Structure 1
Amino acid sequence: MALRLSRAVPIWRNICSVSVRAMSQTGQWGEGAGKGGGSGGAVRDAGGTFGKKQAAQEEQYFKKLQAEQLKKLKESVHDEIKYHKDQIEDHEEAIERHQKKLKDLAELEK
């Protein structure tokens, strides 16, 4: 049953996911387990300068990842806009062709 429920999750969540990180109110990141650093491994659990450095590197990684995701999303939207503008132009040309045909047929009837 658990497999069926996991399949019900929409696929688009995996395509366009944005990571959000929050800091605990009790302390700074990397200050040890339970103090905002969480249980992220031996270095972060120990706290100190290395824990803070690792927390900062993780934050930098997630900010970079989010920026890349937003860039890809913007590019995708721009591509869609261009596609639809091209479609509009194609349809307008088709309308003009059909109107010309109707005009030519109307002249033949006279």
Structure 2
Amino acid sequence: MSGEWGSGAGKGGGSGGSVRDAGGSFGKMEAAQEEQYFRKLQAAQLSALHDHLDEEIKHHQKQINNHKDAIERHKKKISQLKDAGDK
């Protein structure tokens, strides 16, 4: 069992507090709970990053559409100016 997390200080569990230092079932349970906590935290962070990137994409797509509209307005204005100059 040596080398498992929560096995006690200096046995792979490291010094993670008095419960983990003592080793045994409680040390292993504490190590498992810590691992579960950090997995959930990482999953939440990844989900938040995913949502943020989706919002960034939507924002940039909206900007692209706005720029396309502006380009069309400018082209139309140039065409109108050319037509007015030809008269």
Instruction: Give TM class, smaller chain.
Output: over 0.9
Distance 1:45 1:51 in 2: 7
Deviation at 1:76, TM superposition (A): 1.2
Q: What are the ranges of 5 or more consecutive residues in structure 1 without an aligned counterpart?
A: 1-25
| Equivalences for residues 15-94 of structure 1 within 5 A | 27-94=3-70
Q: Deviations over 1:18-43 (max 9, x none)?
A: xxxxxxxx610000001121111111
For residues 17 and 64 of structure 2, the distance between their equivalents in structure 1, rounded to whole angstroms, comes to 55
Q: Segments of 4+ in structure 1 off by > 3 A?
A: none
CA distance in 1, matches of 2:34, 2:12: 13
Aligned to 2:81: 105
Instruction: After TM superposition, give the deviation of residue 69 of structure 1 in Å.
Output: 0.9
Tell me the equivalent position of 1:15. Answer: none
Kindly tell me the number of residue pairs found equivalent between the two proteins. 85
TM-score (norm 2): 0.93
The Cα shift of 1:73 comes to 1.0
In structure 2, runs of 5+ residues without a counterpart are none
With the length of structure 1 as denominator, give the TM-score of the two structures.
0.74
State the 1:77 CA deviation: 1.1
Structure 1 counterpart of 2:40, one-letter code: K
